[in-house]
């Protein structure tokens, strides 16, 4: 048995509208948004009385997806601090290829994003940076050169 593809990454958020707007500004497309509840989801995630809103976004090429979930019940639990450093255990960032890193950073700043460090160049291959967006979500941006 082998995997067919990576389907999506789940990010639990508090302000679903702000995080959706952030990823849409980055260039993702909102596939849909709906409430999710019932015994079937409770059985999958091992929580009782689940009531959540979910938004699914996809990359323009259609291959990558991010699922955003806002839990109404039970309330979401805070893990690492929202400004956790890059060496904190767990998933620290999602990386996206962009065609204009400066433009992407400028657009995301309008949604409250801040550079984690700075935009740096790796040899003559990439310009790279990390951006901390709403709710401390860290997104890596990579612009291929040449």
Task: Copy the structure tokens of residue 14.
Answer: 């508090």
Min mean pLDDT across 15-29, 67-81, 116-130, 131-145 is at 67-81
**pLDDT, position 89:** 82
Give the DSSP H/E element, type plus range, for residue 102. helix 101-109
Q: Is residue 49 pLDDT above 80, yes or no? A: yes
**pLDDT, position 60:** 95
How many Cβ atoms are within 10 Å of 112's Cβ, its own excluded?
13
Specify the pTM: 0.91
**Contact indicator for 138, 92 with CB cutoff of 8 Å:** yes
Q: How far is CA 21 from the centre of its chain?
A: 11
The residue whose two tokens read 């065609």 is: 99
């Amino acid at each position: 048995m082998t995997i067919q593809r990576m389907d999506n990454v789940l990010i639990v958020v508090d302000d679903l509208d702000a995080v959706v707007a952030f990823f849409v500004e980055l260039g993702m497309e909102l596939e849909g948004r709906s409430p999710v509840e019932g015994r079937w989801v409770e059985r999958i995630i091992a929580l009782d009385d689940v009531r959540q809103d979910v938004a699914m976004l996809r990359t323009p090429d259609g291959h990558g997806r991010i699922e955003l979930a806002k839990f109404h019940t039970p309330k979401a639990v805070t893990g690492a601090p929202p400004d956790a450093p890059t060496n904190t255990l767990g998933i620290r960032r999602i990386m996206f290829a962009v065609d204009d890193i400066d433009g992407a950073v400028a657009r995301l700043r309008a949604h409250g994003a801040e550079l984690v460090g700075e935009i740096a160049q790796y040899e003559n291959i990439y310009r790279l940076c990390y951006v901390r967006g709403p709710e401390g979500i860290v997104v890596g941006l990579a612009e291929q050169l040449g």
